[in-house]
Structures are given as structure tokens and as C-alpha cells.
Structure 1
């Protein structure tokens, strides 16, 4: 086996792999983390994981993709059943890509000038091109050609776009977030009970609020404001009432990141603590009423005195990166921990059992040697990037 350069980052994957999404060159699930020996991934800076496909963004702004491509979500210009190897999205070679996102069967890309490109399944209008057509190569979303897009997020059948800074038109102050695609469960946040829209529409309720991050998964949407508030909208967790406009968590905590699953969410605070938001459990915790639904906000147990440096969520599993506080130095990375649904090995614990509390994932690598560790989740699989 080829040796890995100690100065290079490492990319690991585990979980569901029968459609090539793990990048291991074989179509099978993996219960333990697998180190990927792919030279093309040596400079990957970020990943986006969808239903069964992965988009990789390199430090040079180039894009690769692999996994399920039956709807054109890989952006290779053709339908691909299972792409086993990372392959460059060559139609974007003329751009520097700064942000990528992956939904169930569609993908989105943001270029350096702030343009948005989408490809894959468009049957609900989630590509934003004014129709329900699917595209096998990334196509620029014309609605944003005169705007500067900062981020894009993809859910099951919908997409969100976050504009950078102020809108350049006088009549759209506060119109920072847009939604398109399926809106049946309120995930578009457009204050209208619509089944779907195929052109971007303004998400309601953010007048006077500066949004710095957006997230989407399943039929859920979320955003984080510059002052640390978390907003959620879309399908109510565990059968509770849907929210058709963003609802703010009435919390005194200052949040910096939110990650959505299909029936739960994680939120990371500025104190580097992580909280669970769901309606399945009824623990001893603070209950926050959000108009027509209640959300439990509970600190993840078993992490006392640990700092959390990253979070990610799949369909029904969660992943965090912990840091260990040391008295004479800055915090160092400690462990990757997972819990939740484990049927496909997505917890990386060597089996297919579910876990109700965080358990440590063993990598053949000393995480204390890493300058940074990032984790990413698809519906039933997990990736980690470690940088020496």
C-alpha cells in the first residue's frame, strides 16, 4: 500500500457505501473508518455529502465528485450509476469555487464572483432554473447573476441561498436568504403553503437580521444570525406542527453553527458546547416554545469539560469532534464521537448497532497531531478530514 505523506491531510470515510459514496473503490458498507488513498483528494478543503454522493472542494477552488449519479448530481455531463473514483467537474474549471452543497439527488456550487450553479434532479424546482428539468452538468442560476452569493444549502428536495452582505437593490433590504424547490412542509420559509416553486423566493422574517450561515436537510431548514440566534423552519420534528416561516430559538446561548438531520439537529455554541434539538426525547432540559411547536434544547451528555470543535449530522446520526483542555497549552483535538442510527456502519464503531450516547471512533492516527479536524455526514455515511 502506498505511503501517505506526513505533510498531507488525510480523508477517511465509513458507513453506507453500496453506491460508491465512500470513495473506497468498492461497493460495500464499511463499519470502520477507511483511509482513502486517492491522490486527487490530497488538497481537499471541504466536502458536501448528499443522499449517496459526495462533492469535494479543493484548496485551489476545484471540484470533484463521486458516488450515485443517476440524476446528474455529480455534474459530469452524464448519468452515472455508481462513480467509484473522485472525478473532476470539468465544466467548472474556468471558475474558482468557494462553496459546495449536496442534497438527496442534486448539487450546488458557489463561484468566487458569487454566482450559483446547480445540477441533478430538478423535478421539484430545486435547481432554481424556472422549470422541473434535471441537468447533468452545473447550470448557472440566472436569478443571482447580479448578486453576490455567499453560501448554498441543499435539502431532500429544496435549496437555500444566502447572499453576502446587503442586497444591491433598494427595495430588497433584508432579502438575504432565498428558497426554491419543494415547500410542502414549509421548508422554503416563504410564508405560503405551496407545494413547490422553481425560481428563488425570499425567505420571510429576516428583516433587520443578518444571517451568516444556512443549513438544510430532509424537509428542514435553519439559519444562524450574526448575533448567535438559531432559526429553524420546515417539517416539525417527530410529527409536530410544521413551521412555514423561520422561528427563532428563544435562548440566551450564543450559537455559531447548526447541523440538521431528518428528525433532529445539533447546534454548537460560542462556548464550544453542543446541544441537541429534537422532539423524540423528553429529558430534564429546558423546553422552548416556538409558536406551534416545542423544541427540546439539551446539552449532549458525557462531554463534561470537553470543547467541541466541529459538528455534523446525517439522516439519523450525529458526529462531533472534541478538544481536550490542557493547562499549559491551547486546546488540542481529542476524539471523533458518534451516536444515533448505525445500520450501515455510519457510526464507525465496528458494528451496525445504534447508540444513544456519544462513542469514540478509533482512527489509525493520533488526532492530537492534527491542526484541524472536520467531519461531514451523508444520509447514512460519514467523512472526516484530518490536517497535520
Structure 2
């Protein structure tokens, strides 16, 4: 694209595919339509990327040099371009020209960015205080969250109407809607908070990862424990403060959907809480009746080590040690990448063409009804 003059071209080894819901431009194909099979993107306007974040209908890409590109739905300013326009091709966020951004997250209609120096920036819909600026204003250009100017932010996670922040000093903060207890700071179910509030319960816990989606929040500790709070899974009760899942397993990653959580153990096994298809099994009904969370192993990965997991609103994806991408869950927009719109309860292999996956790094990312896969050297 002309406005990206001077942008470096990516390595010939890097490839990016997208599929699923695309009517807001979130697939980066320049076509406003759903795609039921993976589409290999032209990377002439997309430099070599270090990570992606997929939200309600927008995408954030960080380049290997710490620059930011966004595309997709921009109706609330979540793309950070100073307007409320959709963008169907990756576009540099000029606000960050003088910053190096190391981590980013995409919520339903807001975005968060962490700089190399530990500063936090947010933009997009702020009607529930989810931008953390002390008001309920929406912003079309990223703004520094002044509350953390004397702290170093390590990570940010955005849900539908709330945000979580992990500080380098190990404290976890929340702001935005707390209607379902997703901030872990209030007993008033209708309350929202527009300034960061520290989340209690982690005083003696070293938190290494945080995750948010819809009205759910979760964290992983250094010793592999899962903590969750907010909306209960499968119709269970809301959790007002972080609760540790009783399990002998050691987890290293958690990702959240609208009604489910995926968990990856240090041994490469995948487990789930809840259900992507909103259909309760007999076991899950017992969970609701007993108010106990039910942890289930995801089928079809026996004997296969999984390296990475991702969750969209109601679908899931995983990358195996052999470089295979598998998807399952809701398929209405083709987000499973299998050439149809069927729902699936068991993981199925996604074909990325004739690409040689040996000795390559594959990562998968899920938004609300769409999916991305990135292959690097």
C-alpha cells in the first residue's frame, strides 16, 4: 500500500492465512466476504510479524520491529487510526511511530498495547470504562493510561467490555464492566469501573499470564495453577473473586471464549472448561447442579503434543508438535477452515496447501468467527 512507503518486505519464508467471518475486512483479503477455506494473504503491505491479536472483528499485528498495524472493523476507534472507519487491508498505526510495542490485545471493540518501556495504551469503545482513563469516553487514537505511569506493565488482556493488566511487579488490575464479576473487585453486579483497581487474591501468587474474553477472566501462575473469575461456565454461578481450579495438572497457557476456556498443560495436553457449542452434556449438567467446574480433556490429541492453543468466541484451534493446525467448535462463518459451515465437537485437520511444515514455526489466532495462521522460518 502506498501509505506504507519504506516498509520492509517480509521474509520469503513467512506466510499468513486467514479464514472465517470477513464482512468487516478482518481477514485482510481486501474482500468483504466470509472465507470457508484458508486464504494465503499477499504480504506486500504486511511486514514480518511477531504476533497477532484478533478481537470481535478487528486484528492487531505487531511487526518484528515493534510497529503496529491494524485492520477490520473500526466503528469505535479500535483500530487507532483517528477515525471510525473499517479498513480491509493492514494499515500502520502512525501514533506508535516513536514507540516499540511488544504486546497487544484485541477486545470486542477496544484495543490495548504495551510498549517496550512498560507503558500501556488503549483505544476504542470506552463506554464501560474499559480503556482505564477515568471516564467512559471512546477514543479513536491510542492514549497512554496515566494510572500506570509509575509502574511497568507486562501484559494487557481485553474482554468484551473489560480489561486486565499484569504489572511486572506481579499485581493484576482490572477496569471496565464488572457485571458478572469479571474484574474481581466488586460485589455490585451492575457496577463498572473506569480506573484500574487491583484484584485481590494474588498477594502470594506469581502470575505469569492473563486472559480475558466476553465476561470471563483468567490467570496462570508460575507454578502452573489456573485462576478464573467472572461469568460461570455452562450456566454455573458467577465468580466474584479469583478462584484456583483444584487440579494436579500444571498449566502453561489459558485462552478464553464466550462460553469455554482452553487450557494447555506443560506436557502438551489440552483440556477445556465449558462448551463451544452451548450444548450441555450430562456431565456438564452435573457441573451446573453441583456448582463445581468440570475439567475435560479434549479428544483426538492422545499421544500428540500440542504446542499452542487459541480460542475465538465459540471455536477453538491448536497447533501440534508436527506443525498441524486443528480446529473445532462453531463453524457458521467457515472459521474452522474446512470448506463448510458445519459445527464440530472434535478437532479436525486444516489444510494449508502444499506448504512444507517441517522445522517451521506455526501459530494460530482466533477472533469472533474468524481464524489466522502464521508460518515463520
TM-score (norm 1): 0.90
String of CA shifts for 1:268-325, please: whole Å, max 9, x gaps: 00001110111667779899989x83221111111111000110000100000112xx
Aligned CA distance change for structure 1 residues 143 and 73 (closer, same or farther; 3 Å): same
User: Aligned runs of 1:114-125 on 2, under 5 Å?
Assistant: 114-125=118-129
Q: Does 1:151 align with 2:155?
A: yes
Aligned counterpart in structure 1 of residue 302 of structure 2, from 301, 304, 324: 304
String of CA shifts for 1:190-229, please: whole Å, max 9, x gaps: 1432520000001121110000000000010000000000
Query: What is the CA–CA distance in structure 2 between the aligned matches of 1:275 and 1:285, rounded to whole Å?
Result: 15
Match of 1:344 in 2: 333
Aligned CA distance change for structure 1 residues 293 and 203 (closer, same or farther; 3 Å): farther
Match of 2:22 in 1: 17
Gaps of 5+ in 2: 1-8
Choose between structure 1 and 2: higher strand proportion.
1
Q: Secondary structure at the residue paired with 1:93?
A: helix
Q: Does 1:206 align with 2:202?
A: yes
Gaps of 5+ in 1: 167-175, 324-332
Match of 1:66 in 2: 71
Query: What is the CA–CA distance in structure 1 between the aligned matches of 2:19 and 2:145, rounded to whole Å?
Result: 33
| Bigger mean CA deviation after superposition, 231-240 or 280-289 | 280-289
Aligned counterpart in structure 1 of residue 179 of structure 2, from 177, 184, 189: 184
Match of 1:261 in 2: 257
Q: Secondary structure at the residue paired with 2:147?
A: helix
String of CA shifts for 1:109-140, please: whole Å, max 9, x gaps: 00011000000000000000000000000000
Query: What is the CA–CA distance in structure 1 between the aligned matches of 2:145 and 2:199, rounded to whole Å?
Result: 17
For the aligned residue pairs, the C-alpha RMSD in angstroms reads 2.1
Q: Secondary structure at the residue paired with 1:91?
A: helix
Query: What is the CA–CA distance in structure 2 between the aligned matches of 1:361 and 1:232, rounded to whole Å?
Result: 30
Decide whether the 8 Å contact of 1:286 with 1:297 is kept in 2.
no
TM-fit CA distance, 1:45: 1.0
Q: Secondary structure at the residue paired with 2:318?
A: strand
Between Structure 1 and Structure 2, how many residues are aligned? 366
Aligned CA distance change for structure 1 residues 189 and 307 (closer, same or farther; 3 Å): same
Query: What is the CA–CA distance in structure 2 between the aligned matches of 1:215 and 1:155, rounded to whole Å?
Result: 8
TM-fit CA distance, 1:40: 3.1
Query: What is the CA–CA distance in structure 1 between the aligned matches of 2:306 and 2:183, rounded to whole Å?
Result: 30
Aligned counterpart in structure 2 of residue 229 of structure 1, from 200, 225, 228: 225
TM-fit CA distance, 1:5: 7.9
Superposition misfits of 4+ residues, deviation over 3 angstroms: 4-7, 279-290
TM-score (norm 2): 0.93
Match of 1:277 in 2: 273
Decide whether the 8 Å contact of 2:121 with 2:144 is kept in 1.
yes
Decide whether the 8 Å contact of 1:105 with 1:121 is kept in 2.
yes
